[in-house]
Amino acid sequence: MPRLTIDTSIVLTSATIAGLGMTLAGTWLLDGDAGLRTTLFGAALAYGAGGVPAGWRALKALWTEHVLDIDLLMIVAAIAAAAVGAVIEGAVLLMLFSLSTTLEERAMGQARRAIEALMALRPETAFRKSADGSVEEVAAARLVAGDIVMVRPGARVPADATIVAGHGSLDESTITGESMPVSKEPGGKVFEATVNLDGVLEVRITHSLEQSTVARMIALVTEAQAARAPSERFSDWFGQRYTIAVLIGSVVALMGFYWFLQDWQSALYRAATLLVAASPCAIVISVPAAILSALSAAARGGVLFKGGAALETLAAVDVFAFDKTGTLTSGRADVTGIVALDGDETAFLLALASVEANSEHHIAAALRREAERRGLVLHPVQDVQAIPSAGIVGRDAEGPVWAGNTRMAEMMAASTDEVRFRALQESAETVVYLGRGAQILGAVSVADQLRDTSAGALAALRAGGVKSIAMMTGDRRGVALRVGKALALQPDEIHAEMLPEDKLRLVGELAESSKIAFVGDGVNDAAALARADVGIAMGAAGSEVALQAADVALLSEDMERLAAAHLLSKRTASIIRQNLVFAIGAMLVLVTGATLFELPLPLAVLGHEGGTVLVVLNGLRLLKDPIYKTRRAGL
């Protein structure tokens, strides 16, 4: 219940400020007994509201988790101040401490809550169509896969679904961060909480609410906020040891000051000042403030990091490897040529599309669409097995059947050397053969389109300092070269006809000398995604396996977001560096002042808390990162 603690902390801070006010008024404005009583009451209020809750929390942490809370340093300093009669200074300390803690909490809460806005967009109810054609309004949470739901113009899609009837443009900005509407037709996927702008859609629910894309996004970001980055873990580790060192150091300093000053009161006062000056609050919060803000900004831009670690590693990545189909290309392929060896194109396509109906591959979807366009009714195929980067096998009414590329044909001992295939084979397009055992029945060529943002994204990555880019595809060399050329890739950056294990091996080799990110969408990319320093999966359209294996999900179709995310990670790294340099510098100045120049306690506190707040605000600048404005800005 973060809201509750924030509100409580505002009340406590206000009480601390009031307490300090009374202490000051009692000392300077009022005389005699009334003055003394006001001072005492004010100091008690300031200490009680500003110190007791934080002290209690720190003691509890020490007792139950055996961790030394940095806040404890402040409390010890305030007690020391009171002990030497510097009550006002102790109250100033607690007031500034309490104020800056509240500000920090608010700021960090802002970063954390950026994602919650998403949940607010989920529709409460849906219009479910029953078998007899009647429509009833039901709670969106009760929808199950298979339900048919009507989505009227202007309404939000209640759960992830596939369109069964109707056309419409959808505003998917909640998922992808992109406000350009996407037009969809029957067979198209629609996502929970996106807005249907026009046309009445009839959709079949594919995922219940707990498994929806939005639910997954929320889960991912929540996990990300819990999974700590290495530098965060370092600052935790450091914070612990440092706090102990400061406590011991202050006791030693107390002895030293006493040695020189021969006066316990001033020695204790100066030791307390040193304690505050040396506290590492700013250093410890430097990293999480920046990382949390960057994660939220990225999520709003449709780039989901599974943890701060992925964000930090991405900043160091200098080689990007891309899968082709479905990643650099849209994956929405079209059939461009058909050669049926027995001359019966329809029967051939029917057999081919029927096997492919069981595959998740982009090529399969193209064939299914082609069959649908021709009004073919697909027949069932049994014992289906997908063979990654090769094709698919199964058994229909006429016996065993397979579909796939030359690799597949070789496995079946079938020859693809056939004059009538020449034209297809010489085109720079993907060729799919259909066969029964060693006998080939025909071939089709399939072409998919480059995403219009791919070339720009690669150029932006290079401009952002990426050393080399590689394309790794299971497709034919001819296709790979055509696509690579359109993307201005060097010939040695193009790797074709790769099996999943080839991608894995190449990624491993590249990882030896550089930090590598792999971007992919398919089942065939999962191993490479897991092996790369940073695995990035195409979110909304990618396969579930790829999403599981990856560290980052790219929900936007806009590849330029990837380049933007790379820049964001670099900016985060630089803000963390700035923060650390500033925090350490400020601490050194304060410590020098406290040891050598009789720095007054309130000034040490002001410098220390001020520095902490500045560091948090600097991290918060990342929340405004342009990543989620790419594209939107021009619209």
User: Shortest approach of ligand ADP to residue 531 CB, angstroms?
Assistant: 15
User: Shortest approach of ligand ADP to residue 556 CB, angstroms?
Assistant: 19
**For Mg ion, the closer CB: 333 or 352:** 333
Number of residues that bind Mg ion (CB under 5 A): 5
Catalytic residue from among 69, 147, 160, 323: 323
**For ligand ADP, the closer CB: 390 or 401:** 390
User: Shortest approach of Mg ion to residue 363 CB, angstroms?
Assistant: 10
Among 177, 522, 535, 619, binds Mg ion (CB under 5 A): 522
Q: Residue 212, interface with Mg ion (CB under 5 A)?
A: no
Backbone φ and ψ for 169, nearest 5 degrees, come out as -100, 140
Q: Which residues pair with 71 in a beta bridge?
A: none
In Å, what is the CA distance from 62 to each residue of 150, 235, 243? 56, 18, 12
Residues near 385 by Cβ (< 8 Å), separated by ≥ 6?
Answer: 392, 393, 394
Instruction: Measure the CA–CA gap between 483 and 203, rounded to whole angstroms.
Output: 35
Scanning residues 321 to 350, which ones bind Mg ion (CB under 5 A)? 323, 325-326
- Residue 430 binds which of ligand ADP, Mg ion, none (CB < 5-8 A, kind-dependent): ligand ADP
Backbone φ and ψ for 198, nearest 5 degrees, come out as -145, 170
**For Mg ion, the closer CB: 284 or 408:** 408
Q: Residue 521, interface with Mg ion (CB under 5 A)?
A: yes
* 210 and 143 Cβ atoms separated by less than 8 Å: no
Task: Give the residues lining the site for ligand ADP (CB under 6 A).
Answer: 323-326, 356, 359, 361, 363-364, 389-392, 403-405, 430, 432, 473-475, 522, 524
Listed residue (80, 81, 12, 89) closest to 51, CA to CA? 12
Residues near 96 by Cβ (< 8 Å), separated by ≥ 6?
Answer: 602, 605, 606, 609
**For ligand ADP, the closer CB: 312 or 323:** 323
- Residue 389 binds which of ligand ADP, Mg ion, none (CB < 5-8 A, kind-dependent): ligand ADP
Question: Is 323 annotated as catalytic?
Answer: yes
**For ligand ADP, the closer CB: 389 or 579:** 389
User: Shortest approach of ligand ADP to residue 494 CB, angstroms?
Assistant: 12
User: Shortest approach of Mg ion to residue 410 CB, angstroms?
Assistant: 21
- The Cβ of residue 382 has, within 10 Å, a number of other Cβ atoms equal to 10
**For ligand ADP, the closer CB: 47 or 518:** 518
Instruction: Measure the CA–CA gap between 345 and 174, rounded to whole angstroms.
Output: 43
Which pairing describes strands 329-340 and 439-450: parallel, antiparallel, or unpaired? antiparallel
Binding mask 281-320 for Mg ion (x = CB under 5 A): ----------------------------------------
Backbone φ and ψ for 274, nearest 5 degrees, come out as -65, -40
User: Shortest approach of ligand ADP to residue 534 CB, angstroms?
Assistant: 19
Element (H, E) at 580: helix 560-596
Instruction: Measure the CA–CA gap between 395 and 393, rounded to whole angstroms.
Output: 7
Alpha helices in 262-344 (DSSP H): 264-278, 281-300, 308-316
Interface residues with Mg ion (CB under 5 A) are 323, 325-326, 521-522
Q: Tell me the catalytic residues.
A: 323
